Amino acid sequence: METDIERILFHAAAIQARVDELAAEITRDYAGKELTVVAVLTGALMFTADLLRRIPLPLKLDCVSVASYHGGTETSGEVQFDQISLPDIEGRHVLVVDDILDSGLTLDAITRKFYQHCGPQSVRLCTLLSKRRVRIKDVEAQYIGFEIEDEFVVGYGMDYQERYRNLPFVGVLKPQRTQEEI
């Protein structure tokens, strides 16, 4: 799998150091508040697990399963919610944790759905990565691990056709790998 990577953007040590910094910010900002962390499956799973182990606050954890890429390297433009019920977040401060802020479609859809149907006190966003690009939806994360160029990345939970999630780093997939049948 590593031979499919054009270059590594962030090694495991750099990711873990940044996760430490994000956890310290979140801990400070949510001290004394009723916090629910909502992980966006499946890409944010590893990031969320590492992040939560570093936040020494009482909190609830829930997940939402949404899809907008549907196996490709670009968003389909349609966000599908794949679970039957939404998290119980009424009156709580919510931190949505996702792997990457790209077009803004997914995080915008989640935020709108939470406010329309769940009654949270607040919703903030935390992403491991944020692409430098014009977004389809005007969404900004309050907590960002790293900013990257507009490239297709894999590793540390992020995938291409359900592969590469288990790489311990974030890297750019060789362009020919996204054009071949894996």
Is 102 tagged catalytic?
A: yes
4, 102, 150, 159: which one is catalytic? 102
Instruction: Report the distance separating Cα 101 and Cα 83, nearest Å.
Output: 21
User: At a CB cut-off of 8 Å and minimum separation 6, what does 17 contact?
Assistant: none
Residue 160, beta-bridge partner list: 163
Active site residues: 102
